[in-house]
Structure 1
Amino acid sequence: MARRGAEECGDVWQLEPGVYVAAAAGPCEAVLRRAQDFPKAPSPLFPPLKRSGGTPTPEERAHAHAARMRGLRAQAVAARIGEIAPRTARFADQWPTGQDVEILPRVRHALAEIGVSYLFSEDAPTLLPHAAQLFLAREVLVRPARWVWPRWIPTPARRFRTRQQVAFTDALRPIVRRRRSSGRLGDDMLGQMLRPSPHYGLLPEEAVLDTLPGITVATFETPSRAAGWILLHLARHPEAAGRVAAEAAVLPADPAATTSTHLGSLQYTQALVSEVLRLYPPSWLLTRRAPRQTQLGDYTIDAGSTVLVCPYTAHRDAREYPEPDRFQPERWLDEPGSPAKPGVFLSFGTGPHGCEGAALAMAMLTLLTAQTARCHHLSEPPGPEPSYQVTTLEGLATVGLRLRATPRG
């Protein structure tokens, strides 16, 4: 439907009164970069908990975001590749061979271990079960419902979400206090948030706690959706999988010895990951609301209108990507005979609200892809029916995906 709308109605089109779709690459990128005209709404999934002492102010939440970014920037991720790689290798090593396996739950567990460990290091085992429950609360909240209740009504799903937030916060609070009292803040993302900043000093405890449930789930929820598509493409494109496997052969025998240099050498693997993310962006539709009247394409967007940004159609814009429907990792490489350079890429968003975990997600997905291809040939179960269902609610995913692994000789 999104493709048809773009083809028949143009780069920007009106879905219904007050709702517009940015379908082509240029308008999609413009909306995401024009954050003042099209701000991102606060996520309703994990709102701040109500406490007698009050919730963090918008300024404190902005400072907490800046502190998180210190721990998630590309340089910080590069310094910790040796912690990420062993868990991706373990995922590949522990894949049962010779049988059809539903793979997304296994991927999600592996990436949750990586993500939570990246955020909280030695305290991850305490927080991992709570992260799993936060994910479950998210899944319950986004399920289709017969009625859309106002946000102030305490539905069972919202009460469950609140209980899980409280449990996560209650587990995290003593960790924060222990680290601050001991002075051993840690080199993980939490440690970065606990360090005083020359710009705003020390973050209040509640500002640290309230901003972490969402990013904790995000470190593995969205990458898990992407991993499903990537593993499916390894199964469907054995030549590409073989090239990934050959590239991965140079990785150290001890995964803990993997460095950012090794990761940088996986150029074709990174190209394959980028190409799958282009074709199947996990967040295929983004919502923005205009606070004031503005212009987009040939439309005057009134205040209060909604603009739907569609990375799925933007990535299949032939003006940006020659043969846009073709799976062609080589388009991301500087090789003789490679296609024209790819254009607008929005799988991690762009502009002021681009995905803060993009570097971590790319590192996890690249290493998971390389280690899996190095160990296994993947295939889909035989039969005329697909081994998965495509879902578009809250993201593009291969629900129920089953794959078979056979050892690569």
Structure 2
Amino acid sequence: MPQERAHARAARMRGLRPQAVAARIGEIAAGTDRIADQWPTGRDVEILPLVRPVLAEIGVRYLFSEDARVLLPFAWQLFVAREVLVRPSRWVWPRWVPTPARRFRTRRQVAFTNALRPIIRRRRTSERLGDDVLGQMLQPSSRYGPLAEEAVLDTLPGITVATFETPSRAAGWILLHLARYPQAADRVAAEAALLPASPASTTSTHFDNLHYTQALVREVLRLHPPSWLLTRRAPRRTQLADYTIDAGSTVLVCPYTAHRDAREHPEPDRFRPERWLDDAGSPTKPGVFLAFGTGPHGCEGAALAMAMLTLMTAQTARRYHLSEPPGAEPGYRITTFEGLATAGLCLRATLRG
């Protein structure tokens, strides 16, 4: 029902809005610091298998707090099922055909909801709903009352995977740019030197002071938006430039090309984080920065993703110089299915002096 969907969205948004993320910055910082902790030095390491499990744990813990330990294995399997589903295939099957990949995803989704259901019932029975995203969804609305259990179960699998799927793709591009632009990495490291020695002590003030680091993350997301192609449905007949779009039509929006529009971004193909430090460079200007979508269908977890990526970038640059393996050809493949990613990317970390 539309009312129930709106209620569910409003409930989970309470836990994902920027103020809620800012209140848990120390927890996020402690999580992202584990990426630097686990990085072997002095040898080439494939990045995504190193980064993704840590980001998954941060995302699942942000959503479910103390229940994350139980749910993390099921969330990971849900992610694996999604990756299997979007692999290239020589056949394009209608959505109603129960292919092996679709059946696999359904089984993993059922397993996740079966693990989540007793947690929801326990929290409601004990009246200890929690202050995490799940707890926010279980809080009764003054207008609609408590959200139905099935509505909670329907909405959480997708958002659970999204909390670490998109940041994982972005992380590869960000770390690659730290390796390719050592002067930018040095500037991030200097900024990160002011972070507390204990990551858990990081506050929203510390985070807000990472001006250049946040600008670098935005610039990488501008050049390589993980969600490089968005779909929208036109609710009414619309005129767009010289084109007439009929009501109900599906419109494809490409942030990758929009971000390279010289009218909005001078020297659009150049990596220049400083553009986001200028008064004119603002990610809040409608239609200019689309890495997390825009409007009512924009990514709900944008603030969480920016916190994860900014802190990961700062903590990694503070400890390490990164470099690519020698060779004329890039040591990775660009994949575009469901997102823009650096498959097989290897980097080497050397301790800063």
Task: Output the TM-score relative to the length of structure 2.
Answer: 0.96
Match of 1:341 in 2: 281
Q: Identify, as 1 or 2, the structure richer in helix.
A: 2
Equivalent of residue 217 in structure 1, options 152, 161, 173: 161
Match of 2:30 in 1: 86
Separation of aligned partners in 1, 2:224 and 2:109: 31
How far residue 253 of structure 1 moved from its aligned partner, in angstroms, is 0.8
Alignment-mate amino acid for residue 119 of structure 2: I
Equivalent of residue 362 in structure 1, options 302, 306, 309: 306
Separation of aligned partners in 1, 2:148 and 2:59: 24
Q: Secondary structure at 1:384's aligned position in 2? A: coil
1:100 and 2:44 aligned: yes
Runs of 4+ off more than 4 Å: none
Match of 2:56 in 1: 112
Equivalent of residue 195 in structure 1, options 116, 122, 139: 139
1:229 and 2:136 aligned: no
Alignment-mate amino acid for residue 341 of structure 1: G
> How many aligned positions are there?
349
Match of 2:182 in 1: 238
1:280 and 2:220 aligned: no
Q: Report Cα offsets for 1:78-121 as digits up to 9, x if no partner.
A: 00011111111111121000010000111111110100000000
How far residue 290 of structure 1 moved from its aligned partner, in angstroms, is 3.2
1:121 and 2:121 aligned: no
How far residue 194 of structure 1 moved from its aligned partner, in angstroms, is 0.5
Q: Secondary structure at 2:318's aligned position in 1? A: helix
Structure 2 residues without counterparts, runs of 5 or longer: none
Separation of aligned partners in 2, 1:195 and 1:167: 24
Match of 1:71 in 2: 15
Alignment-mate amino acid for residue 317 of structure 1: D
Match of 1:155 in 2: 99
How far residue 149 of structure 1 moved from its aligned partner, in angstroms, is 1.7
Separation of aligned partners in 1, 2:249 and 2:226: 25
Separation of aligned partners in 1, 2:295 and 2:323: 38
How far residue 291 of structure 1 moved from its aligned partner, in angstroms, is 5.2
More displaced 10-residue stretch of structure 1: 69-78 or 285-294 = 285-294
Separation of aligned partners in 2, 1:300 and 1:174: 50
How far residue 289 of structure 1 moved from its aligned partner, in angstroms, is 3.2
Match of 1:25 in 2: none
Q: Which has the larger radius of gyration?
A: 1
Preserved contact between residue 278 and residue 315 of structure 1 (Cα < 8 Å): yes
Q: Secondary structure at 2:11's aligned position in 1? A: helix
Q: Secondary structure at 1:252's aligned position in 2? A: coil
Alignment-mate amino acid for residue 185 of structure 2: A
How far residue 179 of structure 1 moved from its aligned partner, in angstroms, is 0.6
Separation of aligned partners in 1, 2:6 and 2:86: 26
Match of 1:315 in 2: 259
Alignment-mate amino acid for residue 307 of structure 2: A
Preserved contact between residue 93 and residue 375 of structure 1 (Cα < 8 Å): no
Match of 2:234 in 1: 290
Let me know the Cα RMSD of the aligned residues: 1.3
How far residue 59 of structure 1 moved from its aligned partner, in angstroms, is 2.4
Q: Secondary structure at 1:405's aligned position in 2? A: strand
Q: Secondary structure at 1:341's aligned position in 2? A: coil
Alignment-mate amino acid for residue 253 of structure 2: V
Alignment-mate amino acid for residue 170 of structure 1: N
Alignment-mate amino acid for residue 277 of structure 1: L
Equivalent of residue 249 in structure 1, options 190, 193, 218: 193
How far residue 318 of structure 1 moved from its aligned partner, in angstroms, is 0.6
How far residue 140 of structure 1 moved from its aligned partner, in angstroms, is 1.1
Q: Secondary structure at 2:95's aligned position in 1? A: coil
